[in-house]
Amino acid sequence: MTMEELMVDVSHMVSAEWTKLRSVRSNLWVLAAIVAVVIGLAVVVAETRSLQPDDTVLGGSLTAGGTLALLLAGALGASHMASEHGTGLIAMTFAACPQRRRVLFAKATVIAAALGATGLLAAVGGTLVGRWLLDGAAYAPGDPVPAVFGIAATVALTGIAGLAVGAVVRHPAGAAGTVMGVVLLPILLGPLTGDLQPWVAGASPSGVLQKLAQSSDAVPETVGTLGAWPSLAVLTGCVCAGVVVAALIVERRDA
């Protein structure tokens, strides 16, 4: 097969996965919910003035809703893969495309595109709403650019992580639960790990979000001294490694 033929076949699979993603109504609801929780919690935080004195407007507006958005993104990724195992549709998918790594690649592409765009919309919306409601309050504004792009990338990466988990775990509820653990446990259980806490929580999706949003939660004791963008790079590396492991398992296993 020539390179052009390969590109054509891969693009066919990407459009097929795009159709799958957009043709299930609940997927669209999850994407809408991501925008809604980020903007909604930005409103709640601003109206209740529940920011720390040293918080930035950006951090206050995006950290709470952003963490919920990460949970939704992970669940969407997990369900996009695991629901096919739950229904048995995966047999048809692999019959249509026996190159299973290509299926994973196509799914990751559409999940990343949908969640990246949605995450950006949510981050920009939350930022604007927070700035408007906290106009004149005594908080540092924080730098939204390029932070909102990093937050969008974090949302997309969490979705891809969910996809990899879904490919390995295969049970929809089990996969969604596992990826929620990946998002939340480093923050919840980090304090129990003592000196290791910055390593455990520093490059977790929620830790990266706190750093990018310049939240007052992002102190070195909890999420380490590694900067926001290097932490995002570490997260990217971890997610890529997870996808490679998932691809190896999916390729070997009977569908």
Binding site for another protein (CB under 8 A): 1, 5, 8-9, 12-13, 15-17, 19-20, 23-26, 83-84, 87-89, 91-99, 254-255
In whole angstroms, the minimum distance from the beta carbon of 69 to another protein comes to 23
Q: Which is nearer to another protein, 17 or 217 (CB)?
A: 17
Q: Which is nearer to another protein, 19 or 225 (CB)?
A: 19
In whole angstroms, the minimum distance from the beta carbon of 111 to another protein comes to 15
In whole angstroms, the minimum distance from the beta carbon of 243 to another protein comes to 20
In whole angstroms, how far apart are CA 124 and each of 13, 162, 188, 215, 246?
Answer: 31, 24, 27, 16, 32
- CA nearest to 230, candidates 212, 214, 245: 212
In whole angstroms, the minimum distance from the beta carbon of 255 to another protein comes to 4
Q: Which is nearer to another protein, 129 or 247 (CB)?
A: 247
Helices (H) and strands (E) in the chain, counts: 11, 0
Q: Which is nearer to another protein, 151 or 247 (CB)?
A: 247
Q: Which is nearer to another protein, 21 or 62 (CB)?
A: 21
In whole angstroms, the minimum distance from the beta carbon of 109 to another protein comes to 14
- Cβ partners under 8 Å of residue 180, min gap 6: 71, 74, 75
| SS3 per residue for 155-191 | HHHHHHHHHHHHHHHCCHHHHHHHHHHHHHHHHHHHH
In whole angstroms, the minimum distance from the beta carbon of 253 to another protein comes to 9
Burial of 13 (0-12, 13-18, 19+ CB in 10 A): buried
- Number of neighbours of residue 45 by Cβ within 10 angstroms: 25
Query: Which backbone phi and psi does 63 adopt, to 5 degrees?
Result: -70, -50
Cα torsion for 155, 111, 77, 4, to the nearest 10°?
-130
Q: Which is nearer to another protein, 94 or 229 (CB)?
A: 94
In whole angstroms, the minimum distance from the beta carbon of 249 to another protein comes to 14
Cα torsion for 46, 44, 67, 148, to the nearest 10°?
-40
Q: Which is nearer to another protein, 24 or 137 (CB)?
A: 24
